[in-house]
């Protein structure tokens, strides 16, 4: 009898205490909680060695119209090894030119109307990924979990497979293979686990999400150790990102972002004298190639000096065609031999 008497009161209690999603699932919009979210990717080298890395600085939002936006700071790539992070930034992602990746999607509110009762739904979500200057349409199967009325979790049910050639990343993969002397499978396997909090009423929608991750694996501040400097100059020498107008020493405008990154590293190795070495392929006479390589090295030194590096810390040398990396027997190999290299002299 007592149980029957208390049952209506128990039902009323549950109704008033059970969180429920608002009638409009996007009411007020949602903001990513970066510290409770993770984007990881798995790469495979030597055909059987799998390595998992992450991006530490991410941000995102879902607007009141259901437009989801996610911004990934590629400089925050975290492999747990400092120089491997530098290789990923300069050789693979080329973050000096392509600093961010973005994911956008439009969420349909209709499939989410019964989320309060189900608590978890699996939906197929069409998304647009912009990475390395390329936009690709993808589909992701995701689980949407209602944690509370003001918090949801969105996670991939199956990994998203990215083909490197779809994003013009095969050249970066080749540079990584050369630097690490390993073979790398030409795909990335990505997983997302994202937590969003509902915005308070009246909170303005951001023009663009900003990175607020507190554990960002970005470049450390302050001067580098000698080991870190040596490793960075070796990596920068492998980038082949300093380019010139054909047959001249005039810097290509596309090289400026890379040179600004180089300037930052030279500035943070303050006690070191750096050699800037110019190299060419074997097209033309040896004498003309030596002159051209010297002029190109001079152009790089001039750029760094104009930005504030003391001239006595920089030495330019033109090696011409005398130190090829690979035989000058194909157009691809000649492109590898045309380069600017950096070496610590003291």
Task: pLDDT tens for the chain, 346 residues: list them.
Answer: 444 544 444 443 433 344 444 457 888 899 999 999 999 999 999 989 999 999 999 999 999 999 999 999 999 999 999 999 999 999 999 999 999 999 999 999 888 888 888 999 999 999 999 999 999 999 999 999 999 989 999 999 999 999 999 999 999 999 999 998 999 999 999 999 999 999 887 666 665 555 544 344 566 689 999 999 999 999 999 999 999 999 999 999 999 999 999 999 999 999 999 999 999 999 999 999 999 999 999 999 999 999 999 999 999 999 999 999 999 999 999 999 999 999 999 8
CA distance 246 to 277: 18
Among 19, 43, 280, 303, smallest CA distance to 183 is for 43
Among 257, 204, 209, 277, smallest CA distance to 29 is for 204
CA distance 293 to 280: 6
**Angle subtended at Cα 176 by Cα 272 and Cα 317, rounded to the nearest 5 degrees:** 35
Domains and CATH numbers, the chain: 20-198 (2.40.128.110), 226-344 (3.30.1330.60)
Alpha carbons within 13 angstroms on the beta-carbon side of residue 120 total 9
Alpha carbons within 13 angstroms on the beta-carbon side of residue 337 total 21
Q: Which two tokens stand for residue 76?
A: 């925050």
Longest dimension (CA), the chain: 106
Instruction: Tally DSSP H helices, then E strands, for the chain.
Output: 8, 15
For 212, list phi and psi in degrees, rounded to 5.
Answer: -135, 15
Q: Which residues pair with 142 in a beta bridge?
A: 123, 156
Alpha carbons within 13 angstroms on the beta-carbon side of residue 290 total 5
* 284 within 8 A of 334, measured Cβ to Cβ: no
CA distance 32 to 294: 51
User: What pLDDT does residue 209 have?
Assistant: 58
List alpha helices for 39-113, DSSP H: 82-87
The DSSP code for 107 is -
User: What pLDDT does residue 88 have?
Assistant: 96
CA 126, distance to chain mean position in Å, is 21
């Amino acid at each position: 009898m007592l149980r029957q008497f208390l049952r209506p009161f128990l039902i009323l209690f549950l109704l008033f205490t059970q969180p429920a999603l608002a009638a409009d699932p996007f009411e007020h919009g949602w903001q990513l909680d970066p510290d409770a979210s993770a984007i990881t990717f798995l790469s495979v080298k030597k055909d059987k060695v799998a390595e998992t890395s992450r991006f530490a600085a991410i941000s995102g939002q879902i607007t009141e119209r259901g437009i989801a936006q996610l911004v990934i700071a590629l400089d925050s790539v975290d492999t747990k090894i400092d120089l491997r992070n530098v290789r990923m930034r300069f050789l693979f992602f080329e973050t000096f030119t392509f600093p961010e990746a973005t994911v956008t999607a439009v969420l349909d509110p209709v499939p989410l109307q019964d989320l309060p009762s189900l608590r978890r739904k699996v939906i197929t979500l069409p998304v647009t990924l912009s990475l390395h200057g390329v936009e690709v349409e993808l589909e992701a199967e995701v689980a949407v979990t209602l944690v509370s009325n003001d918090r949801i979790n969105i996670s991939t049910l199956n990994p998203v497979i990215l083909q490197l050639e779809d994003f013009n990343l095969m050249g970066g993969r080749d540079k990584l293979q050369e630097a690490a002397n390993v073979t790398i499978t030409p795909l990335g396997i990505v997983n997302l686990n994202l937590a969003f909090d509902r915005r308070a009423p009246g909170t303005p929608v951001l023009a663009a999400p900003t990175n607020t991750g507190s554990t960002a694996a970005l470049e450390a501040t302050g001067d580098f150790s000698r080991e870190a400097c040596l490793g960075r100059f070796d990596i920068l020498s492998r980038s082949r990102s300093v380019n010139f107008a054909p047959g001249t020493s005039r810097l290509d405008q596309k090289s400026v972002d890379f040179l600004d990154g180089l300037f930052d590293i030279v500035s943070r190795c303050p006690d070191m004298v750096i050699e800037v070495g110019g190299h060419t392929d074997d097209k033309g006479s040896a004498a003309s190639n030596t002159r051209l390589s010297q002029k190109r090295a001079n152009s790089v030194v001039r750029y760094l000096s104009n930005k504030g590096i003391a001239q006595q810390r920089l030495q330019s040398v033109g090696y011409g065609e005398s130190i090829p990396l690979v035989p000058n027997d194909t157009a691809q190999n000649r492109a590898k031999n045309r380069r600017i290299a950096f070496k610590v002299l003291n």
